[in-house]
Structure 1
């Protein structure tokens, strides 16, 4: 068995003393405020994904919706819910090629046009199989958007807050969940099928929002350098990371890091094909991590709770639709705060500690949920039923502090530029396969096994803890280009012989310095 994946010594030139023409807080800085347009475009896809996940849970509590999809049995209902994950799989075959060849913004735009068409099909569908078709197309478009948008956010973010920004990508999942949970709650009293049509139609919001802003968002500087548009990348970094100062020390350092890293990848043909994941030990390690992140992010018990919360609440005596949708709305609000808290702590605490804390906490709370569900089902203990409701919050609190943010941010960090869109597609494929299993199998298993089915997820969480402990390295305090050294050794860092120093001070935006200070730090 390999040794635990502890963090290797940090490397790379310290950027703590590099002069940077930005204000202390992003909202007080013109360049960083402009950058939020692009970041908001990247965040929107997870708003849509979160809206959909909470939407299906809410709509299954809506009698009108269940009538309009022909009161499907557990098998058909599982297929309808899982259609979005099935639709993601075929688009992942070509989405990375679109994002790498035409740019992240173009991939986002193409995906959202497909999403808009899918939402209209889903909204005006009557019948279970028509709903299935709409959700399939929705998944197809959403995965194209995700492959373009998540690397885009990580690649345009200022290095001072890149780790937190990347972790916040998936936190917006709960923004969509909150909106959806309360919309489905509020429309329950509409006496027509618009009680659910309106809920699905509102999925047009994020695509329309993003398509109106994309023309004003910048291209990824890493994509620009990859297309030999170095001057354009320089101008982008100067405009958004230094308020137009072309000779800003941080901007020049970033540009040089990106140029050298991409030149090295091209020289070694590191990312021209998916087969690159199998050619080196470092890439095989990356592949194992991104596949595990994809599966584990959906297979640690969260999928059964998110998509089949209504069934779980029914199993502990909560049967009124208003109670079910109200509980769902409160849970999503709690999830958002917990996820944002976890994302803001990733650079302070470190990814590895966050992963392990999250997984161990989920294991403990899931054991309690299983025991209390058994007590309610077997003995009719109402107190045990209320305990289940309480510990669902505890469980998600632990899930959110790491799995919500890091399930996207961590793969983005461990992947090199030329592997990034392909790796995110592999992560998405793993997630989609895991989601399909969850959505299709879970209702059938719950129907036949009830609380006993939870033991499967207890076993998976234990497996997750082992995988994280032995194979997930720490990436704290590194630029995107510097993370490669963890996997590929010192030769991966192509910027020459550099002084070894932590970058923690750089996280403090008050720290600024001159070129003389940089030279002093090398002595």
Structure 2
């Protein structure tokens, strides 16, 4: 393994670089936010629904929606994302990562327009479904572009920060709702938060053109010259003869070529080999765990949860939500800079064990709360904040970054789609069922999550592996062992044999 001043690629150590001292890298990293704020759009929606439920004029406009209707309104976004699943991997693989972001943003703007028109439940639901459809496309293409474009040294930090920006959007949403709730007697109290959901998409459509396309996607389409030029621009100040750029280019090109030649890329590939079954277990579990750790209760039904501890004032609820989102921003983005220091597996284990302790404590607090038992309510609030810090250590940023890096190129878009499908499925369940369950059995619903999070600890301990300090293409070794297909200087034995076969076949063709 490399020292603190080096990173590994192609089986050797390379000196680390300082991104702000390299012109091309500096420009791309400063404009890469145009891809990364997709996650913030998603986070804004979480706070938006909490905020709308606490705004009197919104409730009046929609005739005080019943719990089932509230569940449908919240779940509509996830339904739209699930409907995009048949489309997403083909958009990403055929049309490109950057085009997928553009298509997703345009679709989301149509959804924002319908939601903001207002008054009819049907229109609001359809608008959120369209929003979810666009988000489903953009939220997959964005992390693919980020992880496949940045320098190997920075992949873990940038791809982990990507999903952590969910909380930036959530914080903005909480602040907007808290501000507009004071617009009394006007529909603009809820229309403004709905309209502002379109601002990130507008910004992305303007600035995404400054971000280069994924070199890996370009190589897969045979655009080798353009791909190498981008690699050189981002990683070596435009020097196409740079040794690192050539090692990267050779490893990526040969690995993708071998995958195309000898591997399938259909959906069945996700479970056709032991290595891919292992990947699928991680993808499915991380998708469900990210939403079924009791965080779904607070993210979308915070007012209902607060009622269990006697906090019924809408302004107070929005104040606490705003503070919570600020803590989330700091903890989620902060841990992203230490992913390569601590490693993925220790962070996931710390996260799940910490969440289990907090969920048990919150359940006990709810069980002992009474009208005169304010300490129990305060204890719940304290552990709610600690719960989110524990959650953010593992599942905020690494939900996307870990899912991306464990997949080979040929399966990256489909595997990420599988993970997001599990996220959407769990969100749909949470948003439709949680409100009903809270109304039916109150605090006892938390007992379900105590058992579930204990199960999460076991799965993480059993299946989640360490990928710290390993280049993107070379992670296949951990899952596929000797059967892994990897080209370039770090090629596996199988990769070298297959590469030799391809070279021999090409030489015979030329001779003939």
Same topology, TM > 0.5 = yes
Distance 1:343 1:460 in 2: 26
Secondary structure of the residue aligned to 1:16 is strand
Q: Which residue of 1 aligns with 2:281?
A: 288
Distance 1:446 1:251 in 2: 55
2:458 is the alignment partner of 1:466: yes
Secondary structure of the residue aligned to 2:369 is helix
Q: Which residue of 2 aligns with 1:261?
A: 255
CA shift at 1:190, angstroms?
0.8
Contact 1:50 1:176 in 2 (8 A): yes
Distance 2:159 2:38 in 1: 13
CA shift at 1:205, angstroms?
1.1
CA shift at 1:322, angstroms?
1.1
Q: Which residue of 1 aligns with 2:117?
A: 124
CA shift at 1:495, angstroms?
3.2
Compute the RMSD of aligned alpha carbons: 1.7
CA shift at 1:384, angstroms?
0.4
Contact 2:22 2:236 in 1 (8 A): no
Q: Which runs of 5+ in 1 are unaligned?
A: 1-9, 501-523
2:193 is the alignment partner of 1:199: yes
Quick one: which of 23, 27, 30 aligns to 1:34? Answer: 27
User: What pairs with 1:60-71 in structure 2 (closer than 5 Å)?
Assistant: 60-71=53-64
Quick one: which of 426, 444, 453 aligns to 1:434? Answer: 426
2:382 is the alignment partner of 1:390: yes
User: What pairs with 1:483-522 in structure 2 (closer than 5 Å)?
Assistant: 483-495=475-487, 498=490
2:201 is the alignment partner of 1:229: no
Quick one: which of 396, 399, 410 aligns to 1:404? Answer: 396
CA shift at 1:250, angstroms?
1.3
Deviation track 1:262-295 (CA, whole Å, cap 9, x = no partner) reads: 0121122232x11111221111111111111111
Distance 2:315 2:255 in 1: 55
> Which has the higher relative contact order, 1 or 2, with Cα contacts under 8 A spaced 6 or more apart?
1
CA shift at 1:358, angstroms?
0.4
Distance 1:203 1:211 in 2: 14
Distance 1:499 1:133 in 2: 50
Q: Which residue of 2 aligns with 1:137?
A: 130
Distance 2:457 2:488 in 1: 37
CA shift at 1:15, angstroms?
4.0
Contact 1:68 1:128 in 2 (8 A): no
CA shift at 1:497, angstroms?
7.2
Contact 1:37 1:217 in 2 (8 A): no
Secondary structure of the residue aligned to 2:279 is helix
Q: Which residue of 1 aligns with 2:43?
A: 50
Distance 1:91 1:496, change over 3 A: closer
Secondary structure of the residue aligned to 1:160 is helix
Quick one: which of 65, 85, 97 aligns to 1:104? Answer: 97
Secondary structure of the residue aligned to 1:17 is strand
Q: Which residue of 1 aligns with 2:4?
A: none
Contact 2:250 2:488 in 1 (8 A): no
Quick one: which of 237, 247, 257 aligns to 1:243? Answer: 237
CA shift at 1:469, angstroms?
0.6
Distance 2:133 2:31 in 1: 23
Q: Which residue of 2 aligns with 1:518?
A: none
Deviation track 1:125-150 (CA, whole Å, cap 9, x = no partner) reads: 21222211111111011001112111
Deviation track 1:163-201 (CA, whole Å, cap 9, x = no partner) reads: 111111111001101100011001111130100100010
Contact 2:11 2:489 in 1 (8 A): no
Distance 1:134 1:17 in 2: 50
CA shift at 1:160, angstroms?
1.0
Q: Which runs of 5+ in 2 are unaligned?
A: 1-6, 493-512
Distance 1:172 1:498, change over 3 A: closer
Quick one: which of 163, 171, 187 aligns to 2:156? Answer: 163
Quick one: which of 317, 320, 323 aligns to 1:327? Answer: 320
TM-score (norm 1): 0.90
Contact 2:180 2:189 in 1 (8 A): yes
User: What pairs with 1:450-461 in structure 2 (closer than 5 Å)?
Assistant: 450-461=442-453
CA shift at 1:207, angstroms?
0.6
CA shift at 1:401, angstroms?
1.1
Distance 2:437 2:486 in 1: 52
Distance 1:479 1:497 in 2: 12
Distance 2:479 2:248 in 1: 21
2:268 is the alignment partner of 1:278: no
Distance 1:29 1:451 in 2: 54
Distance 1:251 1:179, change over 3 A: same
Distance 2:288 2:376 in 1: 30
Contact 1:291 1:430 in 2 (8 A): yes
Contact 1:37 1:216 in 2 (8 A): no
Contact 1:278 1:284 in 2 (8 A): yes
Quick one: which of 275, 294, 303 aligns to 2:296? Answer: 303
Distance 1:69 1:282 in 2: 50
Q: Which residue of 1 aligns with 2:75?
A: 82
Quick one: which of 6, 17, 40 aligns to 2:14? Answer: 17
Distance 2:384 2:316 in 1: 15
CA shift at 1:385, angstroms?
0.4
Distance 1:41 1:499 in 2: 34
